Structure 1
Amino acid sequence: MTRLSVETLAADAVEPITSAGHAHLGLAVLAGIAVIVVLITKFKLHAFLALTVGSLALGAFAGAPLDKTIASFTTGLGSTVSGVGVLIALGAVLGKLLADSGGADRIVDTILARANGRAMPWAMVLIASVIGLPLFFEVGVVLLIPVVLMVARRGNFSLMRIGIPALAGLSVMHGLIPPHPGPLAAIDAVDADLGLTLALGLIVAIPTVIVAGPLFSRYAARWVDVPAPERMVPVVDEDQDPDKRPGFGPTLATMLLPVVLMLAKALVDIVVDDPENSVQRVFDVVGSPMIALLAAVLVGLFTLGRAAGFTKERLSSTVEKSLAPIAGILLIVGAGGGFKQTLIDSGVGQMILEISENWSIPALLLAWLIAVVIRLATGSATVATISAAGLVAPLAAGMSPAETALLVLAIGAGSVFFSHVNDAGFWLVKEYFGLSVGQTIKTWSVMETLISVVGGATVLLLSLFV
């Protein structure tokens, strides 16, 4: 059954840009990653240039034609920027509106007034988990970053003590809980029950997010004790009249508007389940990440900007100033996507699937391991989820509904293992938090590994009782 799955995937796969064998390709991947790490850490080359050079080096080591390597890199860069770039830009505009109007300050004051030092990491993980339930990871990051940075600065917290719980909440939702694209794809591939997967996913998510979030943040804050980066902290206008700051309710409602729209889309998709239905088609549009964030920005112009007494000229200036700081982030995240695409087009994912074909281990552990290896090789949680689900799908034929749901969760847990330099999310976190590559590995990468291991172990433990 496993062989059938591999052959099916091979038939559907795009022709690799290189004919290198498994050993040759594996060495090329290691060499490409090594080039990136050395250029950044030893030669202090900008990450955008290092990722570009590393992608070309990977293609050269793998024996791929230069023109095809360039095409793969530019395709990956373009698709990443087109998928994430607009979201980052809209999130930056919303964050600047929150800061300049005093709305972010209002939220921070309210949080600090109601949560003491010990409770703050738990409050952040709860907020991030709720917000992250219907959101793509990148959308959640750009929505929460202004609040995380301001809470850390105003409350005099270590950035990691506040940031890690928020990232953990978002990442756990992204990897384990539908309606995120990875879990939905796995549910479809193995024909699992969505409701049961969601219920078991929440059970797995609770201990996972606790360990990887508030508990791990204690150690992360000791390993990497850094303040919120000056260039990314929303600067509150000193001339802003505190009495003119927007209220907590309107500010929170503006921030949650994209969450509500995307959650509504997910619920309508589940309840209606008819792509031709006019109601579902409307919600598919208004609940898409770009439209949901755009709606929040447009609403924020009134609930935040005009509520603070901003003129039309001031609103225009705020939007313009919000975009300049994210130019470098967009290029780095895009280059990370280009490197990932070069890996995929080189045939790395297919290589991993073929190597793992004859592994003789339990289905849940096999699913987790395959997702882990593909994640390490390609840097994409979604690619890892889809590939692993396709490989182990035939094994679900004799499983109970609960076991099939756990199979999906095992794949999801494996798909977030150890994010590193080939993952666009790695660079997103690095740049937003102002970390070095080493600091990002000590915090973000370790946190992702904890999510994967604790999530996978919890799935295996649940399998003893279902």
Structure 2
Amino acid sequence: MTRLSVEMLAADAPAPITSAGHAQLGIAVLVGIAVIVLLITEFKLHAFLALTVGSLALGAAAGAPLDKAITSFTTGLGATVAGVGVLIALGAILGKLLADSGGADQIVDTILAKAGGRAMPWAMVLIASVIGLPLFFEVGIVLLIPVVLMVARRGNYSLMRIGIPALAGLSVMHGLIPPHPGPLVAIDAVRADLGVTLALGILVAVPTVVIAGPLFSKVAARWVDVPAPDRMLPQRASDELEQRPGFGATLATVLLPVVLMLAKALVDIVVDDPADRIQRVFDVIGSPLIALLAAVITGFFTLGRPAGFTKDRLQRTVEKGLMPIAGILLIVGAGGGFKQTLIDCGVGQMILDVSKSWSIPALLLAWLIAVAIRLATGSATVATVSAAGLVAPLAADMSTTHTALLVLAIGAGSLFFSHVNDAGFWLVKEYFGLSVGQTVKTWSAMETIISVVAGGLVLLLSLVI
């Protein structure tokens, strides 16, 4: 396992914008995070504004000149949005196209038609995992809730037996698998290889979602035995369409970016020659930008055309897909600004210097930092981008695989114990008609299981690869 190294590439790092000692920097980090937590939890300030103010508070507490702290924040914000902003936008377009064309309904209905009885919870995991690849977590919940309620009511299942596997599939995709914003930001921050991270993320995600989904749902159903709430099911997109895309075409479109990125990773391993023409081709088509762009353009024909979308309808779908992500882009960008302020103040090097004598593995440290920020702020994205900024210097002497595992450790920690300061907690509570206590016993427990199991698997993988 890669441990905290005594020797890092500090000589090549730019001079910090402050001359503060370790103690002052440590206090500055606590001040910055405390300001962010307080503004989000007590004053209900938007995370973008909280991260902005927290970054400036960090710089001030570290004794950095205000103009340099502002430059660090804006530089980090711009670099982060430049690195992942287009990918988030493309993912949002693909998700909206999938929902509006009825392609998501086609996947759901086809899988449900093949499943029944004891296989239903496993079918729900499969549905949520496939649908969750291009969708943000909140969008995935809204899309899958009608299916969960319908299946639970039609099959006379406990709501938890059906709902927990679906939520587990969505949450695991959100925390561990690019092109979701959190993993993308962490990959960019620690300079990890996207293809390797994706491959290892799938390897960690499969057993994690099995344990936290179908297996834990048996326990959750005993703890909270509730039926599907008696409410009107929202109308599905395909109910308004004369025709919807085929199952095979829809599935191929959703999986296209994943296949292209994995193919790039495989070619990089097999060929391992940057000058080779084949590797150069796959480096292009397997880049996240091209892979997602290819999926979106393909979706215009495989999803939009069968649904009868005109050019104007496609344009409206793209616009509607882009509108909701403004807040996400700002939060992710501000998180990058906070990360850059941490780095420029010398916090990363401070962590390395202070932890030279520690025996704690770097991956465990990354997981613990993400857990602490997640518990404090309630946001998995804020936890991911903040933790990635803090531990990014640890990746300097890591191998490609261990750098990818560092990303996954951060992602796993960012999912730990969702509670009342997390918007996802209230989404689940209200949609499923649960009390706060019941939501803690089911949703919060499931998130904790995902975090612990995924974190444990990451540490285990670091011992063998």
Asked if these proteins are the same fold (TM beyond 0.5), I'd say yes
Secondary structure, counterpart of 1:245 in structure 2: coil
Is 1:450 aligned with 2:452? yes
1:155 aligns with 2:148: yes
Letter in 1 for 2:87: L
Deviates more, 1:214-223 or 1:266-275: 214-223
Aligned to 1:27: 27
For 1:40-79, list aligned pairs within 5 A: 40-79=40-79
Q: Does structure 1 residue 291 correspond to structure 2 residue 290?
A: yes
1:236 aligned onto 2:237? yes
**Paired position in structure 1 for 2:261:** 262
CA distance change for structure 1 residues 48 and 120 in 2, over 3 Å: closer, same or farther? farther
Identify the residue that residue 153 of structure 2 maps to in structure 1: none
User: What's the CA shift for 1:114?
Assistant: 3.4
Q: What is the SS of the residue equivalent to 1:23?
A: helix
Code of the residue aligned with 1:142 in structure 2: it is: L
Match of 1:164 in 2: 168
1:317: which partner in 2?
A: 316
Map residues 294-305 of structure 1 onto 2, 5 A cutoff.
294-305=293-304
1:103 Cα deviation from its structure 2 partner = 1.0
Distance of aligned partners of 1:79 and 1:213 in 2 relative to their CA distance in 1, 3 Å threshold: farther
Query: Which blocks of at least 5 consecutive residues in structure 1 are unaligned?
Result: 133-138, 188-193, 228-232, 394-403, 422-428
Task: From the superposition, tell whether residues 368 and 246 of structure 1 become closer, same or farther in structure 2 (CA, over 3 Å).
Answer: closer
Deviation for aligned residue 1:456: 5.8
SS in 2 for 1:43: coil
- Name 1:39's counterpart in structure 2: 39
Q: Distance in 2 between matches of 1:55 and 1:152?
A: 37
Deviation of 1:220 after TM superposition, in Å, equals 8.9
Judging changes above 3 Å, is the alpha-carbon distance between structure 1 residues 78 and 454 closer, same or farther for their aligned structure 2 residues? same
In the TM superposition, residue 368 of structure 1 has moved relative to its aligned partner by 3.6
**3-state DSSP class of the match of 1:142?**
coil
Q: How do 1:161-240 residues align onto structure 2 when only pairs under 5 Å count?
A: 161-168=165-172, 171-172=175-176, 207-212=207-212, 214=214, 236=237, 239-240=240-241
Quick one: distance in 2 between partners of 1:329 and 1:62?
A: 28
Match of 2:394 among 388, 394, 405: 388
Q: Residue by residue, what CA displacement relative to the aligned partner does 1:209-249 show, whole Å, maximum 9, x if unpaired?
A: 544555567889989x9x9xxxxx997265312xx111111
**Deviation by residue 1:232-272 (Cα, 9 ceiling, x = unmatched):** x997265312xx11111111111111112112111111111
Which structure 2 residue ranges, 5 or more long, are not aligned?
A: 150-158, 229-233, 374-382, 417-421, 430-435
Aligned to 2:361: 366
Match of 2:155 in 1: none
SS of 2:413's equivalent in the other structure is coil
CA drift at 1:126: 5.5
- What TM-score, normalized by structure 2, do the two folds share? 0.71
Question: What's 1:347 paired with?
Answer: 346
Q: Are residues 1:418 and 2:413 paired?
A: yes
Q: Which amino acid aligns with 1:450?
A: V
Q: How many residues are paired up?
A: 412
> Contact 2:17–2:345 (CA<8 Å) still a contact in 1?
yes
Task: Mark the CA change 1:373 to 1:204 in structure 2 (over 3 Å): closer, same or farther.
Answer: closer
CA distance, structure 2, for counterparts of residue 200 and residue 291 of structure 1? 21
Q: Which amino acid aligns with 1:91?
A: G
Task: Rate the CA distance shift 1:409–1:218 in 2: closer, same or farther, 3 A.
Answer: farther
Q: Is the 8 A contact 2:36 2:50 kept in 1?
A: yes
Contact 1:90–1:294 (8 Å) recurs in 2? yes
Q: Do 1:97 and 1:318's aligned partners in 2 also have CA atoms closer than 8 Å? A: yes
Tell me, yes or no, if structure 1 residue 142 matches structure 2 residue 144. no
CA distance in 1 between counterparts of 2:265 and 2:79 reads 24
Give the conservation status (yes or no) of the 8 Å contact 1:417–1:449. Answer: yes
Distance 1:220 1:46 in 2: 33
Change (3 A) 1:409 1:379: closer
> Structure 2: how far apart are the matches of 1:352 and 1:257?
40
CA contact (8 A) 2:29 2:58 kept: yes
Structure 1's 448 and 386: CA in aligned 2 closer, same or farther, altered over 3 A?
Answer: farther
In structure 2, how many angstroms separate the alpha carbons of the residues matched to 1:199 and 1:291?
18
Distance 1:125 1:309 in 2: 30
Contact 2:262–2:286, Cα closer than 8 Å, also in 1: yes
Distance 1:201 1:150, change over 3 A: closer
Query: What SS does the corresponding residue of 2:275 show, helix, strand or coil?
Result: coil
Distance in 1 between the 2:292 and 2:259 partners? 11
CA distance 1:58–1:209, change in 2 (3 Å) = same
- What is the aligned-residue RMSD (CA, Å)? 4.7
Change (3 A) 1:345 1:408: closer
2:318 partner amino acid:
V
TM-score normalised by the chain length of structure 1:
0.71
Distance in 2 (CA, whole Å) between partners of 1:382 and 1:268 is: 28
Note closer, same or farther for the CA distance 1:447–1:168 as it changes in structure 2 (3 Å cut): farther
Q: What is the identity, as a one-letter code, of the residue corresponding to 1:17?
A: I
Determine if contact 2:138/2:424 at 8 Å carries over to the other structure: no
Q: 1:246 to 1:47 in 2, by over 3 A?
A: same
The answer on whether the counterparts of 1:369 and 1:414 sit within 8 Å (CA) in structure 2 is yes
* Cα separation, 2, equivalents of 1:46 and 1:386: 25
Instruction: Rate the CA distance shift 1:104–1:37 in 2: closer, same or farther, 3 A.
Output: same
Moved more, 3-12 or 374-383: 374-383
- d(CA) in 1 for partners of 2:29, 2:460: 31
1:294 CA displacement = 0.8
